[in-house]
Structure 1
Amino acid sequence: MGLITVHILAFGPAAERLEGRHHTRDVEQGTTAGGLVGALGLDDWLDMGMALAIGGQRVERDAVLKDGVELALLPPVSGG
């Protein structure tokens, strides 16, 4: 399999941990959104409710990434 390029847009704590909002990563074809998040060291945030979106649509962690997509890492929503 070859490599694909994924653009990452991080918000909130994810942006802080990644030291910036905009990132680009080359990953193997077949990589899932959750797999990339884990490779970034953010899987603990998934467990705390971080949402993932591609093209403005929320996706599950098993969504397979395609070349050139933008994966948004959205912080958990809290209310009160």
Structure 2
Amino acid sequence: MTNIDDLSVMSISIDHRTNSAPRVQEILTQNGDLILGRFGIHDPREENTGLITVNLRGKRSRINNMMDDLNGLDGVKVNHMEV
């Protein structure tokens, strides 16, 4: 069972970066208190793809809600791993 002190890592793959990126950013901003660190890259050969990795600390229920919001976006896939 996860408690508030547990760390986790989330990866967010964005296939339609130009369409989905603003909404992804909005969701991450809304959950900024969970985010310890964030790293985003895009493949220069693939204009519309991006990958964001996020280090998190927070309640599993909040992280699940954020994952649900992100997974509901077109072209966005989320993976999560508890550390």
> What is the TM-score of this pair, normalised by structure 1?
0.37
Structure of higher CA gyration radius: 2
Per residue, is there more helix in 1 or in 2? 2
